[in-house]
């Protein structure tokens, strides 16, 4: 029986990529006979890169399986190797191994890694996962087998992207501009580079974003979109992504299949707006129910939450009702004017997506007050 555990590895550039590993080596799984790099050291800088091959020697009488597999929507590569950068938690998943010598029962498998300047440091294999034709798996740290090759990457001018949003707080009806700069740690800027703009699951190295912007001669990129489509403002991170090598049309390099990248993440801060808030009737018998309706902006399945009905008691606003916001952005509350005469109400939408120590992504607001006269 195959047992798999989905995990996330963080590549050197800081982007999470999905890997799949299996727990402890199963009896009869492939045997690891060696692992090595095609070279011991490499130097890169700026946007330059160099190809390094990772080779694994595997044997199994039933034959080693290879390629990308789908187990109920769980995609994984076999064989696969995890590299770890010494002195840091950074890891790199190496996949798409090809048989280059021998046979599937006893052969050498090779994959190519395009090393970029964000990969500076010393790397070593810390996990090898392989599977045979009968589903028997091996998951082993090659260092425990005496295989401990290293690759020293000397990096000069590490590239980085920045990201910001204008306006700093987005109100209904405004356009949003996402912009930033592509430069390296030496201060060099890079013009004419394709920056993919993504959001949520379009931020990964396989997502490629929903739009593209080119950097100017100063290294700046910018992309603007309208907020009239409210659903485009959701709480998921937005990202700017430069794919390396090449990046042309976001096509993974056919020789490498493991694309390095430079990325930056952020999210626009948005001011909630309450629209068309009003009671069904401006007068009602004291103690009776009077519905209060309205809508919020922006709206969508990720931006619903709750609204609060408040009544002014003396100088204090007191909560007297709560309701969930529907996916359409609309809500219905119930007011019960407690006494005859003027009863002053308002609707409050609290802030959402607040992280300790950071400003909230969606800022709360209150509607204008309104009166329900108790009769």
Q: What is the pLDDT of residues 315-352, one digit of tens each?
A: 999 999 999 999 888 999 999 999 899 999 999 999 98
Examine the domain organization and report whether 172 and 80 are in the same domain. Answer: no
pLDDT for 21 equals 39
Percentage of the chain exceeding pLDDT 90: 52
Mean predicted lDDT score pLDDT of the chain: 83
pLDDT for 39 equals 97
Examine the domain organization and report whether 178 and 149 are in the same domain. Answer: no
Examine the domain organization and report whether 312 and 338 are in the same domain. Answer: yes
Q: How many domains does the chain have?
A: 3
> Span 347-362, mean pLDDT?
88
Examine the domain organization and report whether 291 and 366 are in the same domain. Answer: yes
pLDDT for 254 equals 32
- Sign for the CA dihedral angle at 222, 228, 233, 234 comes to negative
Q: Which domain holds residue 59?
A: 5-156
Look-up: residue for tokens 């964000």? Answer: 118
Examine the domain organization and report whether 241 and 365 are in the same domain. Answer: no
Which of 134, 156, 178 is the C-terminal boundary of a domain?
156
Cβ-count burial 304-343 (b if 16+ within 10 Å, e if not): bbebbbbbeeeeebeebbebebeeebebebebbbeeeeeb
Structure token digits, residue 39:
């070279």
Examine the domain organization and report whether 223 and 165 are in the same domain. Answer: yes
297, with CB counted inside 10 A (0-12, 13-18, 19+), is buried
- From the list 258, 244, 233, 201, the residue with the least C-alpha distance to 77 is 258
> Span 138-142, mean pLDDT?
96
Q: Domain of 243: which CATH number?
A: 2.60.40.10
Which of 156, 172, 188 is the C-terminal boundary of a domain?
156
**208 has pLDDT over 50:** yes
Which of 104, 134, 156 is the C-terminal boundary of a domain?
156
Query: β-strands 164-166, 49-59: how paired?
Result: unpaired
Assess contact for 223 and 161: CB atoms under 8 A.
Answer: no
pLDDT for 152 equals 97
14, with CB counted inside 10 A (0-12, 13-18, 19+), is middle
- From the list 234, 238, 225, the residue with the least C-alpha distance to 265 is 238
**144 has pLDDT over 70:** yes
Examine the domain organization and report whether 296 and 317 are in the same domain. Answer: yes
Q: How far is CA 232 from CA 182, 193, 199, 327, 369, in A?
A: 25, 25, 9, 14, 29
**49 has pLDDT over 80:** yes
Examine the domain organization and report whether 284 and 348 are in the same domain. Answer: yes
Examine the domain organization and report whether 293 and 342 are in the same domain. Answer: yes
Q: Strand (E) positions, 119-268?
A: 121-131, 137-140, 151-156, 159-161, 164-166, 169-170, 175-184, 194-199, 211-214, 220-226, 238-244, 260-266
Assess contact for 83 and 92: CB atoms under 8 A.
Answer: yes
pLDDT for 106 equals 97
Could you report the per-residue pLDDT of 276-288, keeping only the tens digit for each?
Answer: 999 999 999 998 9
pLDDT for 23 equals 37
Alpha carbon 145 to its chain's center = 35
For 118, phi and psi rounded to 5 degrees?
A: -75, -5
Examine the domain organization and report whether 32 and 172 are in the same domain. Answer: no
Query: pTM score, two decimals?
Result: 0.68
Examine the domain organization and report whether 277 and 266 are in the same domain. Answer: no
Examine the domain organization and report whether 124 and 185 are in the same domain. Answer: no
pLDDT for 198 equals 81
Structure token digits, residue 145:
């087998």
Q: Which residue has the higher pLDDT, 30 or 339?
A: 30
**253 has pLDDT over 50:** no
């Amino acid at each position: 029986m195959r047992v798999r555990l989905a995990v996330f590895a963080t590549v050197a550039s800081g982007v999470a990529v999905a890997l799949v590993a299996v727990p402890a080596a199963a009896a009869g799984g492939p045997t690891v006979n060696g692992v090595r790099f095609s070279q011991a050291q490499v130097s890169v800088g700026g946007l330059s890169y160099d190809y390094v091959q990772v080779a694994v020697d595997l044997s199994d009488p039933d034959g080693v399986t290879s390629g990308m597999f789908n187990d109920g929507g769980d995609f994984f590569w076999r064989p696969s190797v995890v590299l770890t950068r010494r002195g840091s938690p950074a890891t790199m998943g190496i996949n798409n191994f090809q048989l280059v010598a021998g046979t599937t029962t006893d052969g050498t498998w090779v994959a190519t890694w395009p090393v970029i300047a964000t990969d500076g440091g010393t790397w070593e294999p810390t996990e090898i996962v392989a599977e045979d034709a009968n589903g028997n798996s091996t998951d082993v740290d090659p260092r425990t087998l005496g295989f401990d090759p290293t690759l020293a990457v000397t990096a000069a001018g590490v590239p980085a992207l920045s990201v910001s949003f204008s306006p700093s707080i987005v109100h209904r009806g405004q356009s949003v501009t996402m912009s930033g700069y592509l430069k390296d740690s030496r201060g060099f800027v890079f013009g004419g580079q394709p920056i993919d703009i993504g959001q949520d699951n379009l931020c990964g190295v396989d997502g490629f974003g929903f739009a593209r912007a080119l950097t100017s001669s100063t290294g700046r990129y910018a992309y603007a979109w309208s907020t009239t489509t409210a659903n485009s403002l959701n709480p998921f991170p937005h990202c700017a992504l430069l794919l390396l090598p090449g990046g042309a049309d976001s096509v993974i390099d056919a020789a490498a299949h493991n694309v390095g990248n430079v990325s930056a993440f952020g999210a626009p801060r948005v001011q909630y707006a309450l629209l068309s808030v009003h009671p069904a009737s401006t007068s009602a018998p004291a103690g009776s129910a009077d519905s209060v309706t309205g809508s919020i902006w922006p709206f969508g399945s990720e931006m619903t939450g709750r609204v609060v009905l408040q009544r002014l008691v003396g100088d204090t606003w007191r909560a007297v009702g709560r309701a969930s916001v529907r996916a359409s952005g609309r809500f219905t509350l119930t007011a019960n004017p407690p006494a005859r005469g003027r009863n002053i109400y308002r609707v409050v939408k609290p802030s959402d997506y607040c992280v300790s120590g950071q400003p909230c992504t969606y800022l709360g607001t209150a509607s204008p007050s309104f009166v329900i006269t108790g009769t």
